[in-house]
Chain A
């Protein structure tokens, strides 16, 4: 495999309602920041790819206008996945393996505030048997939380996850929810959808993120400390909630095995788990031991820009490597109802 590294990462400050900006306006500063920080001239970037979802904007081809943020002239080699930006990054990583280009721009954006997000996501379910029930995304997560609790866990553990996320988010300017909540106060809150309380659910946020990837010597020349992608894999599970064990994440486990998470110690993990009970499910599937710092950014409970939150995890993990505070990091992204599809990315800094 060719050596590929994250050499820059930029994200917007997520907003509950970015009414004053359209998608292009959200995206443009982020894309240009990532390109500028990469040190690679825009015209020399070999491949561009984005991830977004038409249904968030409620218009077909919503990603087409995203191209305006890039300034695709002269025409560029470019593609798009209707998936979280983490999968766009995967496709860029694959493309860089061909050997003929040396860098790639990856971006994603989401403006969930335009519609009723939890209802919109309900229409991702099986259109014949599940979607007609309008089972919203919080209710799907609640079913999973119940399965996880029934497997021998407690609501206190969920509250601890929330509390840790809020505390970590205090040092991250790119979050929506930060603080130092008391466990008892959290547990005294009413259920939103039993057994989930409002704080067990992610905030809704509008925003964008971008990453530049570069290979080998180019990465070394533009970055003091590239975050090398030493393993990346993604897997999907059966769709039906009744066809899989919701209390664990088999696809995360398989992706982690193939990405080689266990081949060395992990300093930090950025886990894309929008609901509190999902953090321990994913951490367990990744095989992380108690010493791993999980979600120093606050994770998706603190800010969850749908379609970008997975890419943000990779960017945050890479930033820890490039900043020198970690040597080996794991980033995770999820998609589909109740952690149906998962991507795992291992990032490493050069030994010093």
Chain B
């Protein structure tokens, strides 16, 4: 990893829900931020800088809301940065915050990502007509369904892989008190019988629309060391960070298995000295807004050979008790405040190596991946965190 060592010493999440009308936008962020500070055993004045992220401002109808949020996040008198990299933004935001520590600029950075989607209709906020471009979109599902169909055609995957992912993630969500969807009666037939929205994506194979925020305190090495010696709330150490972007449309691009994702993962593994990601990484929280993307990303991230990602799902390898547990928190399929969803992946991976993931903890988790993607599968942000310091 480039720069100086960085540790996650505090994590806070809100309860994710369709509508959080019990709090304002600022109140939602504070709920997560206060929990992260408590976890870090810090107070507001300990924080040097604040980095916030969210997806399009149209979701809440507030233009560049960081200006309004400065007070609620204790940022007055401090530097404040607002990140926006589409759906990957929660991950990118964490990486920008980490960058401030890696660059030796600050010792204690609070980072918060959020979305309060109940303030608008996210599907249509994502579907504004672009001048001179054909208006073919109806939400993200309309964009990604053809890519999934292409994946099924290429790989010859059985038709029920998406259903299996959906069931697995909703079962995991039952073990996560913050998850939006707690579907006690989730079953294969329940998913199978749900309405087909964008063939082959059924209603229960899509992510929900959530209100929520996730926050982390990222800190320099001495602060991570102090947390480690206190012991009760150990730090997660950053082992690698990477971002990659590619253009939306051009002939050489493969939107099913994007090169930006492959390159981003390769960069991550190079930094951490990983040659066999499936055996060396203990679990991953990856961005799966539509069920089939778990199988697709298994290949893109190098956990499975090309065309065989779906086999990991079929074999149960990605289940909580499998050899490569994926999205033990329930994932994006169970909680999706879009701007926060990437950061939740990063935070959940850190919780796992800290041994603080509760009922959805992977036993003896030493190295975990956080992954986020955005745009038309073109923006990628990833990190690897470990229980021990990087070598």
Chain A proximity mask over B82-94: 1 for CB below 8 Å, otherwise 0 = 1111100000100
The reply to whether B248 and A236 form a contact with Cβ atoms under 8 Å apart is no
Partner of A243, one of B71, B82, B247: B71
* Listed residue (B68, B100, B250, B263) with the most chain A CB atoms within 10 angstroms of its CB: B68
Which residues of chain B are near A68, meaning CB under 8 Å?
247-248
The answer to whether B388 has its CB under 8 Å from any CB of chain A is no
The reply to whether B86 and A78 form a contact with Cβ atoms under 8 Å apart is no
The reply to whether A124 and B77 form a contact with Cβ atoms under 8 Å apart is no
Q: Which stretch from B52-60, B300-308, B363-371 is at the chain A interface? A: B52-60
The answer to whether B157 has its CB under 8 Å from any CB of chain A is no
Number of residues of chain A lying within 8 A (CB) of chain B: 65
The reply to whether B83 and A79 form a contact with Cβ atoms under 8 Å apart is yes
CA distance A233 to B148 in the complex (A): 45
A249, chain B: closest CB distance, angstroms: 13
Partner of B62, one of A71, A95, A97, A127: A127
Q: Which of A99-139 contact B (CB under 8 A)?
A: 99-101, 120-121, 123-128, 131
The answer to whether A64 has its CB under 8 Å from any CB of chain B is yes
Which residues of chain B are near A167, meaning CB under 8 Å?
none
Partner of B76, one of A87, A90, A91, A238: A238
The reply to whether B71 and A239 form a contact with Cβ atoms under 8 Å apart is yes
The reply to whether A95 and B99 form a contact with Cβ atoms under 8 Å apart is yes
The closest CB in chain B to the CB of A69 belongs to B247
CA distance A243 to B68 in the complex (A): 12
The answer to whether A41 has its CB under 8 Å from any CB of chain B is no
B262, chain A: closest CB distance, angstroms: 9
Which residues of chain A are near B67, meaning CB under 8 Å?
124-125, 236, 239, 335-337, 340-341
The closest CB in chain A to the CB of B267 belongs to A77
The answer to whether B42 has its CB under 8 Å from any CB of chain A is no
The answer to whether A72 has its CB under 8 Å from any CB of chain B is yes
* Listed residue (A64, A79, A336) with the most chain B CB atoms within 10 angstroms of its CB: A79
CA distance A73 to B246 in the complex (A): 6
Partner of B244, one of A63, A75, A236: A75
Q: Which of A1-35 contact B (CB under 8 A)?
A: 1, 22
Which residues of chain B are near A63, meaning CB under 8 Å?
84
CA distance A55 to B65 in the complex (A): 12
Q: Which of A230-250 contact B (CB under 8 A)?
A: 233-240, 243, 250
CA distance A118 to B99 in the complex (A): 34
The answer to whether B378 has its CB under 8 Å from any CB of chain A is yes
Q: Which of B87-109 contact A (CB under 8 A)?
A: 92, 95-96, 99-100, 102-105
Chain A proximity mask over B103-123: 1 for CB below 8 Å, otherwise 0 = 111000000000000000000
The reply to whether A64 and B79 form a contact with Cβ atoms under 8 Å apart is no
The reply to whether A79 and B132 form a contact with Cβ atoms under 8 Å apart is no
The answer to whether A76 has its CB under 8 Å from any CB of chain B is yes
CA distance A185 to B350 in the complex (A): 64
The closest CB in chain B to the CB of A95 belongs to B99
B89, chain A: closest CB distance, angstroms: 9
The closest CB in chain A to the CB of B79 belongs to A234
The closest CB in chain A to the CB of B88 belongs to A79
The reply to whether B82 and A233 form a contact with Cβ atoms under 8 Å apart is no
CA distance A220 to B77 in the complex (A): 35
Which residues of chain B are near A340, meaning CB under 8 Å?
67, 70
B381, chain A: closest CB distance, angstroms: 9
Which residues of chain B are near A234, meaning CB under 8 Å?
79-80
Which residues of chain B are near A337, meaning CB under 8 Å?
67
Which residues of chain B are near A99, meaning CB under 8 Å?
2-3
The reply to whether B243 and A77 form a contact with Cβ atoms under 8 Å apart is yes
The answer to whether A67 has its CB under 8 Å from any CB of chain B is yes
Which residues of chain B are near A194, meaning CB under 8 Å?
none
The reply to whether A91 and B96 form a contact with Cβ atoms under 8 Å apart is yes
Which residues of chain B are near A239, meaning CB under 8 Å?
67-71
The reply to whether A54 and B58 form a contact with Cβ atoms under 8 Å apart is yes
Which residues of chain A are near B3, meaning CB under 8 Å?
97-100
A94-B99, A128-B24, A243-B71 are contacts. A73–B250 as well, Cβ < 8 Å? yes
A138, chain B: closest CB distance, angstroms: 16
The answer to whether A59 has its CB under 8 Å from any CB of chain B is yes
Partner of B263, one of A75, A100, A237, A336: A75
The answer to whether A60 has its CB under 8 Å from any CB of chain B is yes
The closest CB in chain A to the CB of B58 belongs to A60
Which residues of chain A are near B259, meaning CB under 8 Å?
74-75
The answer to whether A160 has its CB under 8 Å from any CB of chain B is no
A24, chain B: closest CB distance, angstroms: 10
The answer to whether A61 has its CB under 8 Å from any CB of chain B is yes
A80-B84, A97-B104, A340-B70 are contacts. A236–B75 as well, Cβ < 8 Å? yes
Partner of A61, one of B64, B70, B86: B86
B273, chain A: closest CB distance, angstroms: 15
CA distance A335 to B67 in the complex (A): 8
The reply to whether A91 and B81 form a contact with Cβ atoms under 8 Å apart is yes
Which residues of chain B are near A123, meaning CB under 8 Å?
61-63
The answer to whether B277 has its CB under 8 Å from any CB of chain A is no
The answer to whether B78 has its CB under 8 Å from any CB of chain A is yes
B44, chain A: closest CB distance, angstroms: 14
The closest CB in chain A to the CB of B245 belongs to A78
The answer to whether B260 has its CB under 8 Å from any CB of chain A is yes
Which residues of chain A are near B248, meaning CB under 8 Å?
64-65, 67-68
The answer to whether B125 has its CB under 8 Å from any CB of chain A is yes
Which residues of chain B are near A60, meaning CB under 8 Å?
55-56, 58, 125-126, 128
Chain A proximity mask over B28-59: 1 for CB below 8 Å, otherwise 0 = 00000000000000000000000000011110
A59-B130, A237-B77 are contacts. A54–B56 as well, Cβ < 8 Å? yes
> Beyond the given A1-B104, A238-B70, could you list 14 further A-B residue pairs with CB under 8 A, ordered by the A residue number?
A60-B128, A67-B247, A67-B248, A78-B379, A80-B92, A81-B81, A82-B57, A91-B99, A124-B65, A124-B68, A127-B65, A131-B62, A240-B71, A335-B67
Q: What are 11 of the A-B contact pairs (CB < 8 Å)?
A: A55-B64, A61-B56, A64-B376, A74-B263, A82-B64, A83-B64, A97-B3, A121-B63, A126-B68, A127-B60, A341-B70
Q: Which 8 pairs across A and B sit closest by C-beta, in order of nearness?
A: A60-B56, A97-B103, A98-B3, A75-B260, A336-B67, A100-B2, A98-B2, A78-B245
